[in-house]
Chains A and B, each alone.
Chain A
Amino acid sequence: MTIADQVTGTPIAGTAGAKPAEAKPRAAAPAISLPAIGERELRLDLFRGLALWLIFIDHLPPSVLTWFTIRNYGFSDATEIFIFISGYTAAFVYGRAMLESGVVIATARIMRRVWQIYVAHVFLFTIFLAEISYVATSFENPLYTEEMGIMDFLKQPDVTIVQALLLRFRPVNMDVLPLYIVLMLALPVILWSMKWKPDLTLALSAVLYAVTWEYDLYFSAYPNGFWAFNPLAWQLLFVFGAWCALGGARRMSRILASPVTMWISVAYIVAAFCVTLTWYVPQLSHLMPKRLEQWMYPIDKTDLDVLRLTHFLALAALTVRFLPRDWPGLKSPWLRPLILCGSHSLEIFCLGVFLAFAGHFILAEVSGGAAMHAVISLSGILIMWGVAWVISWYKRVADKSGAKPKIAVGNADMAGGG
């Protein structure tokens, strides 16, 4: 259920007295320190919920709502938010488990979480297979004979399905969970290393990112090509999230509070916005210096382009600055749906991918134009909210009637950054 549920139990020795707001950087403290929070960090849930909604909208064909997704206003998009917050919460939950129960127990819990994500991925693949088979048998528009070549893999279901189970065959829009699985598999090593030298771990992660770019490392995919999100590059954001969760955020608080950081961030975001504007208003594209275009494009999502990473960091810096942890709005009922979705992110993420498939299907069957499109997007979001509410009801009411302590342990995993 919520991080708060297990976090409220026993504060860790080193941090028990420190209130999060006033905590000063502790040079001599244990290498990592967890903020002693009595309350769930609602901002994380809020933005993860937002990321889930945006990912859902981005997976649907473009519509009016697409104009509200952040990828239209800058380089980075919801994926960055999702991976960063996942790293943050995963480190928060399992880092605590590692300090309290040791490496073995924490690793075991992480592995159980990996298994859950894997099963979710296979489930989504099954739905995808059903959809694509349907299209293959019912759609014979001569305009698209060539595009139907994508169905060729249905001729060899044995190979395709095994490759899908090996995470090497991943249809469009099903790239995030395999990335997440790989990152979670690496999490025990990341946490173990962070326990000793958090800064060194972050530095190593940055080195791996640089090496990936320099030597063009990648994960190969089936039938050819590579993973659409290269875990070797995206790990940087995940590790950075973990580093922030384990005390990095507090140590950076002075940098984050400085007006210099703020103005650099603002300038960068505005510049990025101007650049993206030229993508959508082609009349403006001649204003872009050719030199700059040649240097900048293509902005690579697969390998988490530096421009995307910095754009996300700038957004994050501004968010942390203008949206304090105790902002009363976080408790407002208007943000409740987002926060609810964000706190059950694995379930809601999978639901979002499924709803995007279903939305495509409905749009294809009943061509209702823009109105239909908006209805589908909105009802998808309402369904996500409703299901998130049901899940939290289950965890709050239905599951709690049994043995309490056991559930609490289980919940630690359910909250595990998923």
Chain B
Amino acid sequence: MKAKVLLSLILLCGGLAAPLARAGDAVPATPAVPPACELPSYLLSSESQLPKVGEAIKSGKPLEILVIGSRSTTIPASEDASYPARMQAILKDKLPPSEAVHVSVEIQSKKTAEEAATTFVKLMEAKRPTLVIWQTGTVDAIRAIDPDDFRGAVTDGVAALQNAGADVVLMNLQYSPRTETMISVPPYLDNMRVVAQEHDVPLFDRFAIMRQWNDQGQFDLFSPSRGPELAKQVHDCLGRALAQFVIDAAHLGPAQQQN
């Protein structure tokens, strides 16, 4: 009898948990977002903040953003459609026209987090960005780098970027259902979340966002198509989401936004 009660309790809790998790689904990020890009708001919010970005915009200084990433930060042969370029466009749109926004991209293909982090000091001296968006984890997951070493490398990298005086956003891996049986992603997602928590850095959860789109049927990420159309659309949505994420984490009031 007791066992039955326990079991039904567990099942009940399970049943409650499922609808709760979807409670936020209906809320679009902003009214202007195309329907394909819609996301529940929790995927775009972070407790951590970007004080330097907020300051720069409030005081009218130019916003210099550096995106450091591996090959999933670009689309081969159509860089203009990749998410950093899209983010720049959206930010320019949303921020006051007086605000100068410039996004530069540093692609470090086939480099692990550790290898990428060694370049950070020089890179920061050369570019002096207000905000660095560091996309990492994919190469480490493919090469099955020890997750502890990975965490150490990301920690060092984030510290280096912060010491150079920039705000940091971490971006994790893509959701790639085709290679799910081949690349073990969870340890790298978990460790990036841990580093983000420890260093109070906003984490842009690209994996969860793309999975949401796939599960809700907005994009078919299983598609084997060779054309760049799908990639362009996904990057457009990622750029929009990222722009929104940055604006929210910088705590910009309506006064600093166009809409």
The answer for the CA separation of A322 and B1 in the assembled complex, in Å, is: 9
The answer for the CA separation of A290 and B196 in the assembled complex, in Å, is: 12
In the assembled complex, how far is the CB of residue B5 from the closest CB belonging to chain A, in whole angstroms? 10
Asked if A367 and B222 make an inter-chain contact with CB atoms under 8 angstroms apart, the answer reads yes
B-contacting 9-mer, from A46-54, A87-95, A222-230: A222-230
Asked if B142 and A283 make an inter-chain contact with CB atoms under 8 angstroms apart, the answer reads no
A-contacting 9-mer, from B161-169, B223-231, B244-252: B223-231
A-chain residues with CB within 8 Å of residue B75 when the two chains form the complex:
142-143
In the assembled complex, how far is the CB of residue A267 from the closest CB belonging to chain B, in whole angstroms? 14
Asked if B2 and A322 make an inter-chain contact with CB atoms under 8 angstroms apart, the answer reads yes
The answer for the CA separation of A146 and B231 in the assembled complex, in Å, is: 13
Given A146-B72, A225-B146, A294-B197: A72 in contact with B182 (beta carbons within 8 A)? no
What 0/1 pattern do residues 257 to 301 of A give for CB contact below 8 A with B? 000000000000000010001001111001000100110011000
The answer for the CA separation of A248 and B12 in the assembled complex, in Å, is: 35
Nearest CB to that of A280 among chain B residues?
B21
Q: Does A131 contact B (CB under 8 A)?
A: yes
Asked if A144 and B176 make an inter-chain contact with CB atoms under 8 angstroms apart, the answer reads yes
Asked if A293 and B197 make an inter-chain contact with CB atoms under 8 angstroms apart, the answer reads yes
The answer for the CA separation of A128 and B181 in the assembled complex, in Å, is: 9
The answer for the CA separation of A294 and B200 in the assembled complex, in Å, is: 12
What 0/1 pattern do residues 356 to 381 of A give for CB contact below 8 A with B? 11001001100101100000000000
Q: Does B127 contact A (CB under 8 A)?
A: no
Nearest CB to that of B177 among chain A residues?
A61
Asked if A140 and B226 make an inter-chain contact with CB atoms under 8 angstroms apart, the answer reads yes
Asked if B179 and A364 make an inter-chain contact with CB atoms under 8 angstroms apart, the answer reads no
Asked if A67 and B190 make an inter-chain contact with CB atoms under 8 angstroms apart, the answer reads no
Q: Does B90 contact A (CB under 8 A)?
A: no
Given A67-B17, A140-B224, A281-B21: A171 in contact with B182 (beta carbons within 8 A)? yes
Nearest CB to that of B71 among chain A residues?
A146
The answer for the CA separation of A148 and B6 in the assembled complex, in Å, is: 46
B-chain residues with CB within 8 Å of residue A369 when the two chains form the complex:
217
The answer for the CA separation of A150 and B71 in the assembled complex, in Å, is: 13
Which range contains the number of B residues in contact with the other chain? 35 or more
Asked if B24 and A283 make an inter-chain contact with CB atoms under 8 angstroms apart, the answer reads yes
The answer for the CA separation of A329 and B64 in the assembled complex, in Å, is: 67
**Count, chain A residues at interface, CB 8 A:** 56
Nearest CB to that of B20 among chain A residues?
A281
The answer for the CA separation of A318 and B7 in the assembled complex, in Å, is: 11
In the assembled complex, how far is the CB of residue B112 from the closest CB belonging to chain A, in whole angstroms? 10
Q: Does A145 contact B (CB under 8 A)?
A: yes
Nearest CB to that of A366 among chain B residues?
B222
Q: Does B221 contact A (CB under 8 A)?
A: yes
- Cβ-defined partner of B224 (8 Å) among A141, A147, A224: A141
Given A68-B14, A140-B226, A143-B221: A224 in contact with B178 (beta carbons within 8 A)? no
In the assembled complex, how far is the CB of residue A194 from the closest CB belonging to chain B, in whole angstroms? 31
In the assembled complex, how far is the CB of residue A262 from the closest CB belonging to chain B, in whole angstroms? 10
Q: Does B174 contact A (CB under 8 A)?
A: yes
The answer for the CA separation of A147 and B118 in the assembled complex, in Å, is: 23
Given A171-B181, A172-B182, A225-B145: A298 in contact with B174 (beta carbons within 8 A)? no
> Chain A's interface: helix, strand, loop or mixed, by majority?
helix
B-chain residues with CB within 8 Å of residue A364 when the two chains form the complex:
177-178, 222, 224
- Cβ-defined partner of B181 (8 Å) among A173, A294, A370: A173
The answer for the CA separation of A302 and B151 in the assembled complex, in Å, is: 15
In the assembled complex, how far is the CB of residue B20 from the closest CB belonging to chain A, in whole angstroms? 5
Q: Does A149 contact B (CB under 8 A)?
A: yes
Given A67-B17, A144-B176: A223 in contact with B143 (beta carbons within 8 A)? yes
Q: Does B125 contact A (CB under 8 A)?
A: no
Nearest CB to that of A290 among chain B residues?
B197
Q: Does A409 contact B (CB under 8 A)?
A: no
- Cβ-defined partner of B42 (8 Å) among A132, A273, A283, A367: A283
Asked if A294 and B198 make an inter-chain contact with CB atoms under 8 angstroms apart, the answer reads yes
In the assembled complex, how far is the CB of residue B163 from the closest CB belonging to chain A, in whole angstroms? 21
B residues 133-184 touching A (CB-CB < 8 Å): 138-139, 142-148, 151, 174, 176-184
What 0/1 pattern do residues 168 to 190 of A give for CB contact below 8 A with B? 00011100000000000000000
Q: Does B13 contact A (CB under 8 A)?
A: yes
What 0/1 pattern do residues 202 to 231 of A give for CB contact below 8 A with B? 000000000000001000010111101000
A residues 117-152 touching B (CB-CB < 8 Å): 128, 131-132, 135, 138-150
B-chain residues with CB within 8 Å of residue A149 when the two chains form the complex:
110, 139, 142
A-chain residues with CB within 8 Å of residue B71 when the two chains form the complex:
145-146
Q: Does B34 contact A (CB under 8 A)?
A: no
A-chain residues with CB within 8 Å of residue B174 when the two chains form the complex:
143-144, 146-147
Nearest CB to that of B210 among chain A residues?
A143
Q: Which residues of B contact A (CB under 8 A)?
A: 2-3, 6, 10, 13-14, 17-18, 20-21, 23-24, 42-43, 47, 70-72, 75-76, 109-110, 138-139, 142-148, 151, 174, 176-184, 187, 190-191, 193-194, 197-198, 215, 217, 220-228, 230-231, 234
- What 9 pairs across the A-B complex have the smallest Cβ distances? A225-B144, A322-B3, A146-B71, A143-B231, A146-B72, A147-B176, A282-B42, A172-B184, A140-B226
A-B contact pairs, 20 of them (CB 8 A): A67-B18, A135-B179, A141-B178, A143-B174, A144-B178, A144-B179, A145-B72, A171-B181, A221-B144, A225-B146, A273-B13, A277-B17, A283-B42, A290-B197, A298-B151, A298-B191, A302-B147, A364-B222, A367-B223, A369-B217
